[in-house]
Amino acid sequence: MTQERSLPPVVERMWGREPVPRRGPRPRIDLPAIASAAIEIADAEGLPGVSMASVASRVGVAATALYRYVGSKEELLTAMADFVVPEPPEPAGRPWRDYLALWARAQRDILLEHRWLLPIARLTPPLGPRRLLWLDRLLAALDGMGLDEGEKINVASSLAGYALTDVALVTTAGGGDAQFEDTGIDGADAYGEVLAGLLDPRTYPALSAAVRGGALRGAEGWADDDDFRFGLELLLDGVEALIARRASEGEVGGK
Amino acid sequence: MTQERSLPPVVERMWGREPVPRRGPRPRIDLPAIASAAIEIADAEGLPGVSMASVASRVGVAATALYRYVGSKEELLTAMADFVVPEPPEPAGRPWRDYLALWARAQRDILLEHRWLLPIARLTPPLGPRRLLWLDRLLAALDGMGLDEGEKINVASSLAGYALTDVALVTTAGGGDAQFEDTGIDGADAYGEVLAGLLDPRTYPALSAAVRGGALRGAEGWADDDDFRFGLELLLDGVEALIARRASEGEVGGK
DNA sequence: ACCTGAACACCGTTCAAGT
DNA sequence: ACCTGAACACCGTTCAAGT
């Protein structure tokens, strides 16, 4: 059944399973030290500052020594994305809807603190112990509501994806996007103004109206906390409707 | 009001506004040609195949000639992400809910055909004429439902983000993720097996149960079309609830 | 077994020079 | 005005050599 698969060594190391050497000199570094160093650099300088050389120098070895612990730079990024995640909040005793909101908000806060996660988090399925713990707690919070396991996982994906989307939007609209740094477009105000100048109302009738109506003017009209709550409630309403549907199906004996 | 901002030249060019030269030799290339070449390379070899050198050689110039049309490689990626988008479906005459579903599904299909968009699409706010056209049509489809402009834009973000999330999941689970290419993890089956081997049921009780219950076994239990529909309906139910709320508020005179 | 150092192929970007 | 070619600083990754 659950037959042994040979995992990438870096995954083994994420789970704390060192390859039990016991011959030759003692290792001077390990994966947690490497990942921490990389995370510190990314926090300070962003992802472009993270190179094999910069990470190695911060950890005190030659660049090539890192390849004993990670197979490639991409693996290093994956490890960073797991090590940076703290413990999830505990669902015990909370109504499912409260917990889901708390969980999504916490995910969002992590992303806000480490925005370099945005381009990484998307492409990697969770294989690290910390990310998987978050998934576990979300599934637990949905226990006993009549959803099957696949549905619960889908809910988790939707929530996690929503947090990502939201932070990507905030990052853009609130400034700090490298792409617009020196173009004068550094916030929602500027973005709206630029759009107003570009849009021909005949080709873009609805969008022109929205922009001219001020939908993008002012930071509080775009991707602030209320907007996050808005989309979140949208999703939670959807989950609630699903749970209600499953409950009524259960009474008459659904699938 | 809408005061003139100096836009990055590449944005001007995305909108077809060439800087009207009329002196010296006729340009041999333009932004659409560059973007098309880059898109073809990305479709064939993925994003790693796209370098200034490879794009330039395909378009028939020296690598450095591209800097007359894009300020940096990042700008080239942004341009690619706009040029690759086709015309959106037209909302005229469709019920809003049908159109939103169609729109999200079409976005998803674009991403499936050009998966290299995943890491790009997240970080760039739409400034190109093609992406903005999609936004316009979605706003139009939500006209007259009692939502304000900010809410409509939020709905658009949620839908677009959902399509991204879903394709990221499919890309992972369905194989083809470079990261797992040669590790034996090449699909939902393998992913579930790996997880089963890693998870201690005492630390990950809910997730262990889900995995052992087969939630991740078989491609049809993970990120297939039914799963896309599932999350989509979740969101649309949320939108419907919001519309109903606004309608009832309207009767008593809400904000 | 662990790490170093030299080396390789490649990358994005600059700038002066040609036409 | 448009493009080229040389050059620069840097990058990820390899491999043989040291201890």
Could you give the CA distance from residue B156 to residue A221 in angstroms, rounded to a whole number? 15
- Indicate whether A31 pLDDT > 60: yes
- Which tokens is A245 given? 């549907």
Q: What pLDDT is attached to residue B182? A: 46
Q: Are A66 and A52 in contact (CB under 8 A)?
A: yes
Residues 6+ apart with CB under 8 A from A14: A31, A79, A82, A83, A127, A128, A129
Mean per-residue pLDDT, B56-61: 98
Residue B205 burial by Cβ neighbours in a 10 Å radius (0-12, 13-18, 19+)? middle
Quickly state the pLDDT bin for B183 (edges 50, 70, 90): low
Q: What pLDDT is attached to residue B174? A: 55
- Indicate whether B91 pLDDT > 90: yes
Name the percent of chain A lying above pLDDT 70: 84
Q: Per mean pLDDT, which of A74-83, A175-184, B231-240 is the most reliable?
A: A74-83
Give me chain A's average pLDDT, please: 86
Q: What pLDDT is attached to residue B194? A: 85
- Per the structure, the residues numbered 2 to 41 in protein chain A that have their CB within 7 angstroms of any atom of strand D are 24-25
**Chain C, protein-covered positions (CB within 7 A):** 1-6, 10-16, 19
Pairwise pLDDT comparison (A142 vs A227), residue with the higher score: A142
Q: What pLDDT is attached to residue B203? A: 98
Amino acid symbol at B44: A
pTM of this prediction exceeds 0.95? no
- Indicate whether A9 pLDDT > 80: yes
Q: Are A216 and A192 in contact (CB under 8 A)?
A: yes
- Indicate whether B21 pLDDT > 80: no
Q: Are A186 and A175 in contact (CB under 8 A)?
A: yes
Q: What pLDDT is attached to residue B93? A: 94
Residue extents of the structural domains in chain A: 9-83, 96-254
Give me chain B's average pLDDT, please: 86
Q: Are A194 and B5 in contact (CB under 8 A)?
A: yes
- Indicate whether A254 pLDDT > 70: no
Residue of B6, B73, B149 best to disrupt the A interface, most CBs of A under 10 A: B149
Mean per-residue pLDDT, B233-246: 91
pLDDT in tens, A124-133: 678 899 999 9
Q: Which 8-state DSSP code applies to residue B174? A: T
Among A residues 116-145, those touching chain B with beta carbons less than 8 Å apart: 118-119, 122-125, 127, 129, 132-133, 135-137, 139-140, 143
Residue of A207, A228, A233, A245 best to disrupt the B interface, most CBs of B under 10 A: A207
Q: Are A133 and A88 in contact (CB under 8 A)?
A: yes
How many of the other CB atoms lie within 10 Å of CB of A214?
A: 13
Lowest-pLDDT range of A99-103, A165-169, B101-105: A165-169
Write the DSSP string, chain A: -----PPPHHHHHHTT------SSSPPS--HHHHHHHHHHHHHHH-GGG--HHHHHHHHTS-GGGGGGT-SSHHHHHHHHHHHT--PPPP-TTS-HHHHHHHHHHHHHHHHHH-TTHHHHHTT----SHHHHHHHHHHHHHTTTSS--HHHHHHHHHHHHHHHHHHHHHHHHHTS--GGGTTTT--SHHHHHHHHHHH--TTTSHHHHHHHHTTTT-SGGGSSSHHHHHHHHHHHHHHHHHHHHHHHHHHHHT--
Q: Which nucleotide is nearest to B63 (CA to C1')?
A: D4
Amino acid symbol at A184: G
Residues 6+ apart with CB under 8 A from B49: B41, B42
Mean per-residue pLDDT, A16-32: 85
Q: Are B237 and A237 in contact (CB under 8 A)?
A: yes
Quickly state the pLDDT bin for B158 (edges 50, 70, 90): confident
Quickly state the pLDDT bin for B185 (edges 50, 70, 90): low
CA quadruple A67, A73, A79, A85: dihedral positive or negative?
A: positive
Test A123 with B168 for CB contact under 8 angstroms. Answer: yes
Q: What pLDDT is attached to residue A193? A: 82
Write the DSSP string, B111-142: HHH-TTHHHHHTT----SHHHHHHHHHHHHHT
CATH-assigned architecture of domain B9-83: Orthogonal Bundle (1.10)
Contact residues on chain A for B122, CB-CB shorter than 8 A: 118-119, 122, 164, 168
| Phi and psi angles of residue A27, each rounded to the nearest 5 degrees, phi first | -60, 140
- Indicate whether A219 pLDDT > 60: no
Name the percent of chain B lying above pLDDT 90: 58
Q: What pLDDT is attached to residue A182? A: 46
| Fold category of B96-254 in CATH | Tetracycline Repressor; domain 2 (1.10.357)
Quickly state the pLDDT bin for B176 (edges 50, 70, 90): very low
Cα three-residue angle A74-A80-B180, rounded to 5 degrees: 40
Q: Per mean pLDDT, which of A24-33, B117-126, B188-197 is the most reliable?
A: A24-33
- Per the structure, the residues numbered 72 to 131 in protein chain A that have their CB within 7 angstroms of any atom of strand D are 72-74
Interface contact A93, partner B, CB < 8 A: no
- Indicate whether A78 pLDDT > 50: yes
For chains A and B, what is the number of CB pairs under 8 angstroms?
Answer: 244
Lowest-pLDDT range of A74-88, A93-107, A218-232, B221-235: A218-232
Three-class DSSP category at B77? helix
- Indicate whether A96 pLDDT > 90: yes
- Indicate whether A122 pLDDT > 90: no
Q: What pLDDT is attached to residue A19? A: 72
pLDDT in tens, A35-61: 999 999 999 999 999 999 999 999 999
How many of the other CB atoms lie within 10 Å of CB of A73?
A: 15
Could you give the CA distance from residue B16 to residue B129 in angstroms, rounded to a whole number? 9
Q: Are A38 and A55 in contact (CB under 8 A)?
A: yes
Test A123 with B196 for CB contact under 8 angstroms. Answer: no
Interface contact A167, partner B, CB < 8 A: no
Q: What pLDDT is attached to residue B3? A: 44
Could you give the CA distance from residue A33 to residue A30 in angstroms, rounded to a whole number? 5
- Indicate whether B230 pLDDT > 90: no
- Indicate whether A177 pLDDT > 60: no
Q: What pLDDT is attached to residue A2? A: 43
Name the percent of chain A lying above pLDDT 90: 59
